[in-house]
């Protein structure tokens, strides 16, 4: 096993203030390799209450009449 965490490229995500339907928030490191290079990124992953054995990278939902995304990126896409 190789630890790539020192080379991980974190993207800033706002993970505080999770909605009521979110159970847990994890940070997942994804490693991509080719013959020339290896790189890794760290992304948030959430579990949802009442949905066993599944993880999601984002949730899109309505809060009142406003469309929300959780976790939200601090960098606009």
Q: Is the pLDDT of residue 4 over 70?
A: no
Between 59 and 8, the more confident residue is: 59
pLDDT in tens, 10-29: 567 888 889 999 999 998 88
Q: 77 pLDDT exceeds 90?
A: no
**The model's pTM:** 0.71
Per-residue pLDDT band for 3 (boundaries 50, 70, 90) equals low
Q: What is the mean pLDDT of residues 47-68?
A: 93
Tokens matching residue 74: 């601090």
Residue ranges of domains in the chain: 5-73
Burial grade of 70 (CB within 10 A; 0-12, 13-18, 19 or more): buried
């Amino acid at each position: 096993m190789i630890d790539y965490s020192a080379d991980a490229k974190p993207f800033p995500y706002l993970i505080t203030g999770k909605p009521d339907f979110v159970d847990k928030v994890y940070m997942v490191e994804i490693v991509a390799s080719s013959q020339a290079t290896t790189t890794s990124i760290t992304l948030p992953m959430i579990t949802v209450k009442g949905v066993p054995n599944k993880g999601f990278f984002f949730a899109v939902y309505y809060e009142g009449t406003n469309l929300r995304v959780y976790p939200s990126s601090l960098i606009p896409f």
